[in-house]
A and B are shown apart, each in its own frame.
Chain A
Amino acid sequence: MSKGGRLATVLGLFLVVVGLVVWAVASLLNPGVPGGVVNFTNSQAAGQPVQLTVQTVGSIGFGAHPSWVSYLVKNPTTGKWVHDTSWELPAHTVIDMTVYQYDSGSPLRNQEWGQVQGTIGDTATLNGTSFSVFNSNTGNGVGHTFAIPTLNVSVPMVGVSGNPCAVAPCHFDSPHNIEKFSFKTPGPGSYNWQCFVPCALGYLYGNGGAMSTQNYMGGELEVVSQS
C-alpha cells in the first residue's frame, strides 16, 4: 500500500473509532439529566405553591424492568403520567405534594422513617387525616417513603391491601392511599431524593435494582431560580 493509502486507512479507522466513542457517550448520557427533566417551574405563577403529583406503584410491568417498583410523576403541562424522577422546581417556593400510593406495605427497616420530618408543620395527611408518626408494624405497613436526605425531608407512604393495581400508570379504581404534604425548596442546586423502604425485590438488602436506578425509586430535584 502506498503512503497515501496507509494514511487514508489510518485516518479512516480513527474516524470509525471516534464515531463509536461518540455513540457510546451519547448512550451513556442518560435520560433524567438534563434531557429528561420534568419542568414544574412554569406550572404556576411565581411565588405560588407548585402542585407536584406522583404515584408509587408495585412491581407491575412498567418500562424496561417489568418486575420493579416505581414512582411516576404527572407532567404538569400534558397531564400524563411519566416515568421520570428528575423534576425541575423553582427555588424558595412551597411545593404541595400529592402522592397516590398503590403499593402494599411492610414494616420499615428503620422505623425512624415512620416519622414525618421536614414538611411544613412536620405533618402529612393520610386520606385527609393528619399524622406525624406512622407505626409501620401496624396495619398494612409502609409501602414507600419520599425523602430528600440533604433537606431532612421524609414522609412515609402507607401501604394498601386488597387487589393492588396491575398495570401502571394506576387509576383510582385500584386500592390506594392519598397523602398530601408540603415542603419548601431551598436555594438553587441539585438535591437527590429517594425512597427509604428497601423495596427492590430479589436484591440483597432490597437496595439494588429499582432503588439503585434513576427513574424508579430515586431521582434529582433540580431547583432553579425563577426569573
Chain B
Amino acid sequence: MTISAERPVDVEASVPPANVEASKGRAGDWLSQHIGTAIICGFLGYILGHWLGNYIGNTYGNIANSGQNSIAVTLALLFMVIGWLLGIGALNYPLAKMIGRQPKGEVEYTGWSRYFRYNLDHKVVGIQYVVAVLGFFFTGGLLAMAIRTELLNPTVHVFAADTYIKIVSEHGTIMMMMASSVVVGPLGNYFVPLMIGSRRMAFPRIEAFSLWTFVAGYFVIFSALFFGGFPTGWTGYAPLQTQAGPGMISYLFGFAVISVGMMTAGFNLAVTIINYRAPGMTWSRVPVFVWSMIATAALLTLASPVLFAAGTFGILDRTAQTAFYVAEHGGSSYLWENLFWFFGHPEVYIMALPGFGIVGEIIPVFCRKPLFAYRIAAAGMIGVSLLSFFVWQHHIFQSGIDPDMRPLFMLTTELISIPTGFIFLVGMGTLYKARIRYEVPMLFCMAVYFNFLLGGVSGVFLSDVPVNVTVHGGFFVLSHFHYTIMGGLIFAFFGGLYFWLPKMTGRTTNKKLGLWHFWTMFVFFNLTFFPMFVIGLLGQPRRVFTYAKNLQGLNDFSSVSAFCLGASFLIFVANLMWSQFIAPEKSPSNPWDSLGLEWQTATPIPAYNFERIPVIMTDPYHYSEVGAPVLADFGNAPPVHAASAATDSTDPDQ
C-alpha cells in the first residue's frame, strides 16, 4: 500500500522519512532477500566459520587430544547467524548507516511472500512469531515424548545413557527458549500497538530483527543434536559444561543469540508502550495485557544481558581456556550458578507475567463484567517484576551458598507470592456473579487458574528451606515448573491464540475441535504432571534414566498420559490447518463482542492499523454498565459504545 499524499494530517502520522522511498515488490521475486537467501548465506557463514576455527585451533593440545574442536563450532555458529541475518536483510539499514551511505528503502511486498521476508509491519512479524513459536514447541514436545518413553521402565532402556541425557537437555533448552518469547513475540508484537492505539511499534526494524534472531536461535540450539548434544540440562551447570563436547557450544551460543532477541524485543515493547500510547490513554486506561507486557519487557531487557555474559564466559572457558568456572585455576562453579539464576529467575517471570496478562484480558470479555480490581492487577505485575530480581538464590539453597542468605531468600521468595496472588483476586472477583460464556478461550483461562494454583502453591513448598531439602532436584520441582510454565503460560498462550486468531487472520477457528483440544489437553496435562509431585516426594531425582522399582507404576501412568497429551496437540494442528488454510470461514470483525481497542478495527486490519489515531476516553472494561462512557473518539468513524450484555456484534446500532 503506497503512502497517499492526500491523507489528512493526523495526530501521529507515522510516514516513513521522505528520503527513503518505499517501493513495491513482486511476490515471486526470487532474487530479492527472503528466507531462502537467509538459509544460503547462513550455510556459507557456517562453512567459513568452521574452516576458520579448524585453521586456528587444530594445533591446540586439548583439541588435538580430544578430536573435537569447540572453536570451530563457535565460529561456525557465529558466522552462520551473521550470514542468516545478512541474508534476510536485517542488517542492511544499520550497515548502510554505519558506513555513511543512504540506506536503500525497504521494498514493500504484499501477499503471502511477506511472511517469508524481513517485514516491518508488526502484524506480519506477529504471525511469523506464531509459526516460529509453534515450531519450537512441537520440537520440544517430541523430545518430551522421547523422555517419557525412556522412563516407562527403569531397567529396559530405549536410548543409551548418553543419548538420553542429550534428549533431556535439548527438550528443556528448546522449551525454555521458546517459552521466553511465546506470548511476547506473537501476541505482544501483534496486539500491543493496536491496544494502545498506535500505528506501529517504536522500532519496527528492531522488532523484525528480534524475530529473525529468535529463529536463528532455534537453529543454533537444534544444531546441538548434530554436534553430539550437551549433557547439562537446560541449567548448564559448570564445570560439567566445560567438560562437555562441542554440542555445549550450541547451548551457550544459542542462549547468547536468544538473549539478544529477547533484549531487543523487550526494549522495543517497553519504548512503544511508554511513548506510543494514543492521546488520552493514561496509565489507568491501559489494558491489563499491556501492563503485563511492560512488566515482562522490563525483565527481558534487564535480565537477558546477564545470560549473555554468562554464556560468553562459558564459551571463553571452552575455547580460550579461561577459567571463569573452573575451580583449580581460580574460578568458581558458583559463578555460573549465580549468574545463570540471576537471569533464570526473572526468566520464569518473563514466562508467568504474559499468562497473567492474557487471562486478565480475556476473562472480562466472557464474563461481561469489568476486570475486578484493575489497579491491583497492574500493581501485582509491577510488583512481581521488581521482586523477581531478589529471589534467585532459592534455586541453590542446598548448593553451599552463604547460609545467612538462606532465610533472606526464603523471605523474599515468600513475599513474591503476594503480588503473584493478586491475579487470583482479580480473576475470582471478575467471575463473581458473572454470566460466563464458555467459549474456548475462556476455558483455557479458567484452566490457567486451576493449573497455576497448583504450580504456585507447590512453589511455596519449594521456597521453604527445610522442605526444599526434600523437594529440590527431584520430580516435585519438575512438576512445579511444568504446572506454572506449561499449565500457566502455555494454556494462556493457546487461550490467547484462540481468542485473537480471528482478528489476526480474519478466519474463525472451529469451536468443536477447539473444545476437544481443550479438554484433552487439560485432562491429560493434569494426569501427566500431578503424579510427578508424588514421584518427587518419593525420591526420584530429575534427569535420570533409571529409578527405584516401586515407582514404575506412577512413572508409567505419567508416561501414558503424556502420550495422550501429545496427541491432543494433533487436534490443535488439525483445527489450525482446517480452519485457517483448508476450509477457512470468514470471521466477523468482533466475534467475541469485546470492548478492546484492538477489536475496533476492520478485519483484516489495514496496514497502518487506524485511519485516524483515536483519542482514548476510558478503559476497555466497561461491560454491562448502563451509561458507560464511550471507549474512544475515532474522528469520523461512529463512536464505539460500551457493550451491553447482548452479544450481537453485527448490529451497527448496538
User: Which A residues form the contact surface with B (CB < 8 A)?
Assistant: 3, 6-7, 10, 21, 24-25, 28-33, 59, 65-68, 188-190, 192, 200-205, 207-209, 212-214, 218, 220
A61 to chain B, nearest CB (A): 10
20 additional A-B residue pairs with CB within 8 Å, beyond A21-B142, A204-B243, A214-B163: A6-B582, A24-B225, A28-B163, A28-B166, A28-B225, A29-B163, A30-B162, A33-B160, A65-B67, A190-B155, A190-B546, A202-B65, A202-B67, A203-B66, A208-B245, A209-B245, A212-B162, A214-B161, A214-B162, A220-B161
Given contacts A29-B158, A207-B243, A208-B243, contact A7 B66 (CB under 8 A): no
Given contacts A190-B546, A209-B245, contact A202 B66 (CB under 8 A): yes
Given contacts A205-B239, A205-B243, contact A214 B64 (CB under 8 A): no
Residues of A within 8 A of B166 (CB): 28
- Is there an interface contact between A10 and B582, defined as CB atoms closer than 8 Å? yes
Residues of B within 8 A of A3 (CB): 582-583
Residues of B within 8 A of A10 (CB): 577, 581-582
Closest to B63 in A: A202
- Is there an interface contact between A25 and B146, defined as CB atoms closer than 8 Å? yes
Residues of A within 8 A of B169 (CB): none
Give the interface size class of chain B. 35 or more
Closest to A8 in B: B582
A170 to chain B, nearest CB (A): 19
Residues of B within 8 A of A25 (CB): 146
- Is there an interface contact between A67 and B65, defined as CB atoms closer than 8 Å? yes
Q: Is the contact region of chain B dominated by helix, strand, or loop, or is it mixed? A: helix
Cα distance, A220 to B225, chains bound together (Å)? 23
B167 within 8 A of A: yes
Closest to A215 in B: B160
Cα distance, A192 to B160, chains bound together (Å)? 11
- Is there an interface contact between B62 and A6, defined as CB atoms closer than 8 Å? no
- Among A24, A190, A204: residue with most chain B CB under 10 A: A204
Cα distance, A65 to B162, chains bound together (Å)? 16
- Is there an interface contact between B155 and A189, defined as CB atoms closer than 8 Å? yes
13 of the cross-chain contacts (CB-CB < 8 Å) are A28-B225, A29-B158, A30-B160, A68-B66, A201-B62, A202-B65, A203-B66, A204-B326, A212-B243, A212-B244, A212-B245, A213-B162, A218-B161
- Is there an interface contact between A208 and B582, defined as CB atoms closer than 8 Å? no
Contact of A30 among B66, B142, B159, B326 (CB under 8 A): B159
Cα distance, A208 to B242, chains bound together (Å)? 9
Closest to B242 in A: A204
B157 within 8 A of A: yes
B435 to chain A, nearest CB (A): 38
- Is there an interface contact between A190 and B582, defined as CB atoms closer than 8 Å? no
Cα distance, A202 to B166, chains bound together (Å)? 21
A57 to chain B, nearest CB (A): 15
Residues of B within 8 A of A189 (CB): 155
Given contacts A7-B582, A212-B162, contact A28 B146 (CB under 8 A): yes
Residues of B within 8 A of A7 (CB): 582
- Among B64, B155, B239: residue with most chain A CB under 10 A: B155
- Among B239, B244, B581, B582: residue with most chain A CB under 10 A: B582
B520 within 8 A of A: no
Residues of B within 8 A of A209 (CB): 66-68, 245
